[in-house]
Chain A
Amino acid sequence: MVVSFFSPRLEWMSAVVESWFLILAAIAMLLGGANLFMHHSNLIYNQKPGWGYSALTLAGFLITLVAGLLKLGVPLTPQFPEHAWAGSFEEQPGVIWWLYEYIIKPSTSTMFALLSFFVASAAFRAFRAKSTEAALLLVTALIVLLGRSYAGTILSAPVGDAYSFAALTDFVIMSVINTSGQRAIVIGIALGVAATSLRILLGMDRSYLGADE
């Protein structure tokens, strides 16, 4: 992978490695699916507390699996009208499309929407001026909040655009302070990645394999 990054002629090596990883991950999916099936079957069989949720999970798993494998409800394609399974499994109005559109999408959106409440509760705890640093954070957050909202525009109208909350947010806090901090972290991360990769490649660090020795 490293060599192919520097040599355009050897880029195919990187593609081959990536393909092999995908194959490996696809095979590993069987392990994951088997684990899920066994775990929830066990809970249902032993009538453990909450086994009803496991039954629902298993039903969802099996319905999706069967609908995807058999391409249930997938229309015939104009190119291959004589082959029933020629269309894509995600095609409208297939069962997988329906499951995605009416079950997965709304559920995902619901979970994602919870984020706004959690942001509020986290901000409430974080922005308490308990120390100098916390006070600085609070003031900065307040400026950014005003700079990103219409209230800031109204409040800073008398001083002009150059000194408005929006300008302070964009040209000072985000472009200078935030960017410099982010870049310092990113440089550290890049070097950390290089050092960790070397440790792994040279076999110095094998703790991720379950053994240090």
Chain B
Amino acid sequence: MGSSHVEWLSGRVYSSTGNASRSVGRWSIGLLAMMWVLAICSFPLAAVSQASETIALQESQGVPSTAPSDVQKKSSSDVVTPSAEMATPAANAAADNPVEDTASKLFSEKRFWSLILVLAVCFSVLICTFRARMGAKVYVRPIAGLKAIEEAVGRATEMGRPVLFVPGIMDLNELQTVAGLSVLSSVAKESAAYENNVHVPTARSLVMTAAREVVQAACIEAGKPDVYNDDSVRYITDEQFAYVAEVCGWTQREKPAACFYMGQFFAESLLLAENGNSVGAIQVAGTAESSQLPFFVASCDYTLLGEELFAASAYLSGEPQQLGSLQGQDLGKALAVTLLLAGCLLVTLVQFEGLGPFPQMAYDVLYHQILGRD
């Protein structure tokens, strides 16, 4: 790779911006384009191959041709030739016991297309990350909610009131909680810089432990290790509404000037946000629970909608490789839009007669195999 030394897993890049990196950039774009062409081309190819398999099967059985849609409702894994079906005793046993057969498979054929789509998205993210490391510029649109962190913490400090950060009510195995803790890092750093305390009530013990590490590291990074106080990050209870009662009570007593709600929330979202609103706090919320978003939008000054919560960490870090991953995410969105448009087009085409069996077959492949619908 010439003068470019890349350590993928450690996240370090020592790169020159010479010919070598440009060449790598071109190669990565080429690879990405190839992945995309493969993903898109394989879709009609699968339809054609499925159609030919069906016709061959019908001919071998000597049965009159049926409507393609009826046959295509079966996935490729379900369509077996009679000879293959009766070939071995093991196959017969497997046919007698389909549950056991499915469980013993090394690869689930029903999830083949999920794998292809996941790989396409992952490669998009990785290649865009790689390009960003090589020096490619990445534009990320400003996210108002994240820009407001400094303003909110500064206001709280001026007013001499604390900052509240709620990392959701779920455990660390939820990615939303992890994303929330990433935002906590920035909020705690900002608070420590102003020598203000951030109060973090948690509903899970593991989250408390992780949040303590995050806040302590943020205080050290801000050059104010003395600001950190163990009591500011506390475990309350696992019980949903008991947790809400404690946080709402604290909010009414201490009147924080800035409230952040970042993580996974359920029915408690509105209770927390309305309480914060009632004490006049600047409120910033972020969740990927689509059913709770309207409540936060109604009660908070800024809301990170769904994917913005996951983008927050990359946005706040400002590191090129993290920002590059957001670009890869957008390519995944383009793939989703392509599939949506293909679906709309095929649904329209199957309404017309005289276009042959291809639109129906392509639609069946898209609906039953790629999307995995029955």
A contact residues vs B (CB 8 Å cutoff): 5-11, 21, 24-25, 28-33, 35-36, 39, 50, 104, 107-108, 111-112, 114-115, 118-119, 121-123, 125-126, 182, 185-189, 191-200, 202-205, 207-212
Interface residues of B in 156-204 (CB under 8 A from A): 171, 173, 175, 178-179, 181-182, 185-186, 204
Question: What are 18 contact pairs spanning A and B, CB under 8 A?
Answer: A9-B103, A25-B171, A31-B235, A32-B235, A35-B205, A126-B298, A188-B305, A188-B306, A188-B307, A191-B333, A191-B336, A192-B329, A193-B288, A194-B125, A195-B325, A195-B329, A196-B178, A209-B210
Q: Which of B18-26, B29-37, B47-55, B105-113 contacts A (4 or more CB under 8 A)?
A: B105-113
CB-CB under 8 A from B319, the residues of chain A are 204, 212
Chain B nearest CB: distance from A182 CB in Å? 6
A105 to B198, CA, bound (A): 32
Beta-carbon contacts of B229-261 to A below 8 Å, as 1s and 0s? 001001111011110110000000100000000
Contacts of B111 in A (CB 8 A): 5-6
In angstroms, how far is the closest chain B Cβ from the Cβ of A119? 6
B72 within 8 A of A: no
Docked-complex contact A188 and B333, CB < 8 angstroms: yes
Say yes or no for B45: interface residue by CB 8 A criterion: no
Give every chain B residue within 8 A of A6 (Cβ-Cβ).
107-108, 111, 114-115
Contact of B129 with A204 in the complex, beta carbons under 8 Å: yes
In B304-334, the 8 Å CB interface with A consists of: 305-307, 309-311, 313-314, 316-317, 319, 321-322, 325-326, 328-329, 332-333
Interface membership of B146, Cβ < 8 A: no
Residues in B with CB closer than 8 Å to A125 are 298-299
Q: Is B88's beta carbon under 8 Å from chain A? A: no
A185-B206 contact, Cβ under 8 Å, with A39-B231, A191-B121, A202-B11: no
Q: Is the CB of A8 within 8 A of B105?
A: yes
- How far is A195 from B221 in the complex, measured between Cα atoms in Å? 26
Number of A-B residue pairs, CB cutoff 8 Å, is 204
CB-CB < 8 A to A5: which residues of B? Answer: 111
Q: How many Å lie between the Cα of A115 and that of B272 in the bound state? A: 10
A170 to B340, CA, bound (A): 23
Within 8 Å CB of B281, what residues of A?
Answer: none
- Asked if A196 and B321 make an inter-chain contact with CB atoms under 8 angstroms apart, the answer reads no
Chain B residues whose CB sits within 8 angstroms of the CB of A200 once the complex forms: 178
Which chain A residue has the least Cβ–Cβ distance from B7?
A203
Q: Is B218 an interface residue (CB 8 A)?
A: yes
Chain B residue with Cβ nearest A30: B205
Tell me if B204 and A25 are in contact (CB < 8 A). Answer: yes
B window 262-321: CB within 8 A of A: 267, 270-271, 273-274, 288, 290, 293, 295, 297-299, 305-307, 309-311, 313-314, 316-317, 319, 321
Q: Is the CB of B106 within 8 A of A205?
A: no
Count of chain B residues near A, Cβ 8 A:
86
Q: Does B10 belong to the interface (CB within 8 Å)? A: yes
Cβ contact within 8 Å between B108 and A7:
yes
With A118-B270, A195-B125, A198-B122: A207-B114 Cβ-Cβ less than 8 Å: no
Q: How far is the CA of A142 from the CA of B122 in the complex (A)?
A: 43
The 9 tightest CB contacts between A and B, nearest first, are A32-B205, A192-B310, A210-B217, A192-B307, A210-B213, A188-B307, A28-B205, A32-B235, A111-B241
Check B342 for interface membership: any CB of A closer than 8 A: no
Give CA–CA (A207, B125) in the complex, Å: 19
Whether B290 pairs with A196 at a CB distance below 8 angstroms is no
A-chain residues with CB within 8 Å of residue B231 when the two chains form the complex? 39
A186-B290 in contact given A31-B205, A198-B122 (Cβ < 8 Å):
yes
Interchain CB contact under 8 A, A195 and B205: no
What CA separation (Å) do A30 and B206 show in the bound complex? 10
B213/A209 in contact, CB under 8 A: yes
Contact call A35/B208, Cβ cutoff below 8 A: yes
Q: CB of B92 within 8 A of chain A?
A: no
Instruction: Report the bound CA distance from A122 to B106 in whole Å.
Output: 52
Selected from A108, A185, A210, the residue in CB contact (under 8 A) with B239 is A108
Q: Which of A111, A188, A204 contacts B244 (CB 8 A)?
A: A111
Q: Which residues of A contact B115 (CB under 8 A)?
A: 6
Min CB distance A167 to B, Å, is 23
Please pick, from A39, A203, A207, the residue contacting B185 in the complex, using a CB distance under 8 A. Answer: A207
Residue B16 at the chain A interface, CB threshold 8 Å:
no
Contact A189 B209 (CB under 8 A): no
